[in-house]
Structure 1
């Protein structure tokens, strides 16, 4: 038969265990909140402008350390706030496109091969949706130099994307973060590539 002292010690041990479990749960909830609030966020894809990389209904997770801590790179898929006039009323305030030109870059399209050129280098873009009967990665020609503090962005579904070709440059300060993984639906789970084989060969401006 246990003495009153042993019973008290057991009760005290149980209370400490419950206290430790409670502390762990609270710490985990706080950490989860901080991660969701300051490091990563989930976004829903409402349009076809990034097909076939992203489909309507996909959900992506965005790294909000980009570009504040981690620098932007050409080829990154980014979420950014509407700089003004990109979205109609009721369409939300965030857009998702691929970074094509960084500050100082000279971006042009389309050459004799129908491809994009950045700083005089032709960029192969295997992710771009091109309609049958053409090899042009854009329906319109353009030639721009990206100002400091700005980005040139385009959708992967170029023939169904309202992007920098229509609306101009995106301020770097409007970037929410870099999308790096599709999380929903489960059948679509995949890491998002910036296609380094295509973009790392681009020379500095």
Structure 2
């Protein structure tokens, strides 16, 4: 009789352990699926690899990039966006999965040009209190095509941007930089 009670106790304990393991594995699977969905469709962390956005962003800054708003409206003038390199950059050897970060300067239908160190949108000078210094190279006025954008780095004289490789197709945009979470002394919205 004692041996039968012992076997029942052992089987019950073993069953409880396996139930606990299954529950934990289920929770881990749910957490992984949620993390994947959040990163794919809602927001993801990114780091800044270069000085092209100085003084706004510095090399090594860590950002949260939100992906939801552009499902409902297009990027706007002044938005800081993260994007996959367009075909022109891929032809120059940049991998498709390398992310770039720049500021939207021209929206579809607008004209963009640079004269005497000033960026002009539709013939009007753009007020830019966020740049490192005025651009030293002139840029002949161009019109931004439908579903494309003209982007530039805030460090105008040290930025690989639309002046050199052309327009950015909307489908290449990953999301909008919204919050810097590293370094701690510069935490805040961008």
Unaligned 5+ segments in structure 1 are 1-17, 131-135, 193-205
- CA deviations on 1:112-142 (whole Å, 9 max, x unpaired) are xx32111122211011111xxxxx4342332
Measure the CA separation in 2 of the matches of 1:27 and 1:60.
25
User: Aligned ranges for residues 59-138 of structure 1 at < 5 Å?
Assistant: 59-86=62-89, 89=93, 93-111=98-116, 114-130=117-133, 136-138=134-136
Measure the CA separation in 2 of the matches of 1:143 and 1:115.
12
User: Aligned ranges for residues 5-24 of structure 1 at < 5 Å?
Assistant: none
Measure the CA separation in 1 of the matches of 2:69 and 2:135.
27
Secondary structure, aligned partner of 2:44: strand
**Please, what TM-score do these two structures have when normalized by structure 2?**
0.76
Measure the CA separation in 1 of the matches of 2:69 and 2:50.
23
- Deviant stretches of 4+, over 3 Å: 21-33, 87-92
* 1:152 equivalenced with 2:150 (yes/no): yes
Cα 1:138/1:97, change in 2 over 3 Å: farther
RMSD: 2.5
CA contact (8 A) 2:114 2:137 kept: no
**1:162 matched residue in structure 2:** 160
Secondary structure, aligned partner of 1:178: strand
**Please, what TM-score do these two structures have when normalized by structure 1?**
0.71
